[in-house]
Each structure stands twice: as structure tokens, then as C-alpha cells.
Structure 1
Amino acid sequence: MVATERTLAVSGFWHANAGSLLMALTLQRKAAELGVADRLAVPTRRSRLAEVPHARTLLLPNYAGNRLRNLASTALGALPQTALSPLGLVRPDAALGLVDLSGFAISDQWGPSKAEERSQRAVEFASRYQPVLFLPQSAGPFEDPRVRTAFVAAVSAARRFFVRDEASLEHAERSGADMSKVTSAPDVTFDCVVPPPQDAVPDLILVPNERLVTPETGSVEVVTYVDLMIQLGQIGRQLGRKARVVVHGGSGGDLDLASRIASALECRVELLGPIAFKSSVGDRSVVVASRFHALLSSLAQGASAMALGWSHKYPMLMDQFGLSEFNTTPSKALSTPERLMGDLDDHARSGAQRIVAQEQVREARARLTDVWAELASFSSDVNNP
């Protein structure tokens, strides 16, 4: 049964992550532009959907093992969609199809549980002849057999699985998945065009990420990471830049790191949504970021940036924008912070990055045509075996 409201089911959304929110907003806008769907349905509480206009709650079980949520979803899911619509709820079989916007879920670093959850949802939708699409994301390296099996199953269930970097494509080729369904494409947020600030100033924007100090994904001591950010901020000020510390999503861990950095630099912490953040970055900005979508948004706006990352997706992005020399680790950056910041400041003042950004964004948007074509096809063959 298809609801009278044309609704896309979404998996991989995390309300506290600004990058995830930016992907959801981009997807929502394109789905409306293409006449595919009016709303997104996300498996999370309504209170977490405030920044996604008109979103609904998708009644999916939590495969991570939340028994109470599973029972509630099962009980409500037995009701007809006509009874659920006024409550802002959507049955899985009432959605047009499933779109996964995970940034990096099917990977060894997150373990098999998350990968198997994404895969299981895709298989269930496909079993009802509902189309499944994985938006461009990083994946791999699939050294864990369970993660590899989950990826192969997800690809099999999907109409297309887009990966957003060459490393992920290589991982996919070695996984045993059906490569006729796997295609490389840029991150969809390249299609979220935001005007730069009219009164751009030479600022230095610091964006921390707790993943660098979390044992599962990083290997840096908190004090080392915070000290580096503080040093870079102080050097930036000596170069005539206004220091800004921004939280770009994540849990309270990002805010804790940002508060320590901002306190030392005697500036305030800025809590910005993804659109507000992107619109605050200009081609005179220098950005030091550990959040992927903060980095991508900054580069797309013509800023010169330094990446302090924790996975292969960071060097792939920096290389795309010709800034591989500024892709580094906290330990390496600590050895030559003055040189790194000096070179980055010189690069920003040259204005060269603006031209690179314009070319890369134009090329990325052109390559996203295939992604949106797959999404557009949802409206033509829903529930047709």
C-alpha cells in the first residue's frame, strides 16, 4: 500500500550530525524538484526531525536491539497507513522506496552490527519490490567477513550503490559484490549551493571531531589534539586572522573539545547548522577541520583548508581539491604548525583556491546527474516486481 503522501524512507540519518542533516536536506530538495516525493520518513523520534521540514517518523525496528522500540514499531505498524498519517508516522510498505544516506556506515571501523542493520533494511525493502538506493558514501575495507557479507547483500538489494571515493571503489571491487550496481559519484551535498558571505573576512575556522580521540576510530590523546587546535588558532591570529571555533555536529564530545579550544583562544563556541556554517565560509577563510562535511562545505566555498582526519575519506577529498599537502595528522602537524599555517595562509591570500573550487563543484554537480536519475526513477516503477 502506498500512502497518499509521496514519502521516501530514509536510513543512515543522524540528527546530531550536521553532515547527515545537510545530506537529508539536499535529498529532500531534489526529491521535490524531481517530483518524486513530498516528504522524507526517518526512523527516529519526531523531536529529532525539527530541522528537516515536513519529515515523518518511519516505523522501522531498531535492529541494534532496543526491545521496547521494536515492540512499539511492530504494534503501530499493524495499523493502516490512513490511521498513522495524522500521527506523522509511516509504515515501511507505504513508502515509495528506501534511500540510504549513511556517510560511512558499512565499514570495518564501525563494526558488523551497523553494516548488517543497513543491509537488512535494504533487503527487506527490496523483498517488497520497493526500490533501494544508496547515496554516495565511503565504505570498506571489508577485512571483517561480516562487514563484507553485509556490503555484498546491500549491493544485491539496491538498484545502485554509489561510493564517493576511489578507495571505496577499490574496496568494493575486492568484496565480491555485483559491480554492475556499484558506481562512483561525488557527495550529494555538492548540489547544495549556498551563497558565500558578502562581507567575507580573513578568518580561521577550527572544527573539532571527537572521533580523533575515540579509541574505536582515533588514536590521539585529547590533550594533544586540543593543544594542536589551540596552537593553530594562536598562529592564525598572529597572521591577522579572526579565530572561530565551530561545532559541526556529533554528540557532546565535539562540544567539549570546542569549549576547551575556545576557552584558551578567548572566543565563543559557534553552534551552527550545516547551511548556516556553509554560508559563513568565504574564499578568504582558512579552515582546519576534522569533520568531513565541514571540510567539504568549506572547500566548495573556495576556502583553503587543512584536514585532520581519521579515515581514507579525508585524503581523497583533499586530493580532489589539490590540497593533499594539507591533509595531515595531529602528530605530524604538531611538528611544524607554524610552517603549515603559514603556507595555508599564503595559499588563501593568493585567491587560487576559489578557481579550483568553482571547477570542482561544477564537475561534481555534473557527475551527480546519474544519482538523481536513479532517484527520479522511483516514481515510475514503485512496487512493480
Structure 2
Amino acid sequence: LFPDITLTFKKLVLIDDEAFQNPFCIIVPNERMLDKASERWQKNYYYVLSKLIDIILTKSNLNIVMLIHAVGQSADALVGRKAIESVRKIYSGRIIYYVEEDPVRLKSIISKSTFLIGSRFHALASALSLNIPAIATSWLHKYEMLFQDYDVKEFSFKEPDDEIYERVESLLNEEYRNIIQNRLKIANSLINEKSKAMWNLILSMMKS
């Protein structure tokens, strides 16, 4: 099988917004976690997000960007706002709510992050393709397959599990992050090779 061509799309633009000047991680919510995911995720999605937020804010100096990409009829914006309601006032200045519709800017913002926690496939694929460690909260098999392709399947959670908190704490450790980033670099090298082989095959078929 050949890889998704979006994984090799590397175009980035300059991101100089004030919101992204200090080190940050990203959370990308998805309204579908409340109606399409497992029953346990539907019941515990907000709780898990709030606990992950608390761990990051209390155990690191990272800011958190609540990044909304799905707009229009999507309720992701409402989910994102509700997820940060429980943030203690002492930390309120370290969580940033940000809406970005442009997919190139979205990927460029992700490229500047320390790691990403996401429920949107596009955001997770963007992170991994840029060697940015990521944690997936999901309900579809394609999320698991994506993380398996990148040799980080232990970071994909189809069910809420206490291990997710251990994973986010591990990503707060720079040495451990570097280990994961090296895994992603190896995976991306293989994906790039497969992509080149795919295009070579397409070109040869067009010429024949």
C-alpha cells in the first residue's frame, strides 16, 4: 500500500503571531467524540481533556493552544471552549483559544508546537508528518492505523485509559520526546520513499 499523499506535503508559512512566541503544546478537539466515539469516551471526554490540561499546566511551563480547525456547521468551537472552562484562574493566562481555517497555516502552527493532543485526523497526521509527537483520542480504526504506521501506536487511545495521562507526562520530558521524534523521523523517511515509488509508478504507467 502507498501512503496518503498529504503526509508528504511539507509547505509551511511563517507564523509570527504573539500567541505562539512562547513554548506551547496543542489540543485539537472534535465534537464527534461526544456522539461517534465509544460510550466511555462520550461520558468522559471533557473529564479527560480537563485532566490532561491540568497535568500540562501544573507540571510544565508550556502554554496550551486550544486549536479549532473545523468551522462552519461544526461544534468543535463549543467543545473547545467548554473544555477550558474548568481551568483554574491562576493558569488562565497560559491557555490560548485559537481558530484557524487555513490548512497550510494550521500545519505551520503545529510545526512550532512541542506536542499535540488531538481528536481530528488531519491535525494528527500533520503533527506526525512533521515529527511532532502526538496523542490521539479517537473512535475510527484509521487513527490506529496512522499511529501504527508511525511506530507510535501506544499513543492512540480508542478508549479512555489512565495510560493517556502517563503518555502526556512522558512527553513533558525532553529526552523522551527526542526518542519519539527519532521514531517519527525514521517513519517519515520510509513514507517519503514509498511516496516517491508511487509517483514513479504513476509516471511509468502514464508513459506506457
Give me the whole-angstrom Cα distance separating, in 1, the residues matched to 2:78 and 2:86.
13
Residue 355 (structure 1) shift? 2.8
**What residue number does 2:82 align with?**
260
> Size of the alignment, in residue pairs?
195
2:206 corresponds to 1:206: no
Counterparts in 2 of 1:245 and 1:378: CA distance versus 1, 3 Å: farther
**Structure 2: gaps of 5 or more residues:** none
2:99 pairs with one of 251, 271, 288 = 271
Cα deviations by residue, 1:24-58 (Å, 9 ceiling, x for unpaired): xxxxxxxxxxxxxxxxxxxxxxxxxxxxxxxxxxx
Residue 233 (structure 1) shift? 1.2
Give me the whole-angstrom Cα distance separating, in 2, the residues matched to 1:201 and 1:330.
32
Give me the whole-angstrom Cα distance separating, in 1, the residues matched to 2:23 and 2:183.
19
Runs of 4+ that moved beyond 4 A: 195-201, 220-223, 347-350, 373-381
Contact 1:205/1:288, CA 8 A, preserved across alignment: yes
Residue 263 (structure 1) shift? 3.5
Q: Matched residue of 1:302: which SS?
A: coil
1:231 pairs with one of 42, 51, 68 = 51
**Structure 1: gaps of 5 or more residues:** 1-183
1:306 pairs with one of 135, 154, 167 = 135
**What residue number does 2:109 align with?**
280
Give me the whole-angstrom Cα distance separating, in 1, the residues matched to 2:21 and 2:195.
29
Cα RMSD, aligned residues only: 3.1
Contact 2:3/2:195, CA 8 A, preserved across alignment: yes
Q: Matched residue of 2:117: which SS?
A: strand
Letter of the structure 2 residue corresponding to residue 214 of structure 1:
D
Residue 342 (structure 1) shift? 1.2
Map 1:117-128 onto structure 2 (within 5 A).
none
2:126 corresponds to 1:293: no
Structure (1/2) with the larger helix percentage: 2
Counterparts in 2 of 1:341 and 1:209: CA distance versus 1, 3 Å: same
Q: Matched residue of 1:236: which SS?
A: helix
Share of identical aligned residues, percent?
Answer: 20
1:331 pairs with one of 156, 160, 165 = 160
Give me the whole-angstrom Cα distance separating, in 2, the residues matched to 1:371 and 1:359.
19
Q: Matched residue of 1:368: which SS?
A: helix
Give me the whole-angstrom Cα distance separating, in 1, the residues matched to 2:43 and 2:82.
10
**Structure with the greater alpha carbon radius of gyration:** 1
Letter of the structure 2 residue corresponding to residue 187 of structure 1:
D
Counterparts in 2 of 1:244 and 1:223: CA distance versus 1, 3 Å: farther
Q: Matched residue of 2:181: which SS?
A: helix
TM-score between both structures, scaled by the size of structure 2:
0.76
Contact 2:28/2:120, CA 8 A, preserved across alignment: yes
Residue 195 (structure 1) shift? 4.8
Give me the whole-angstrom Cα distance separating, in 1, the residues matched to 2:43 and 2:68.
18
**What residue number does 2:193 align with?**
366
2:70 corresponds to 1:249: yes
Counterparts in 2 of 1:244 and 1:192: CA distance versus 1, 3 Å: same
Residue 271 (structure 1) shift? 1.7
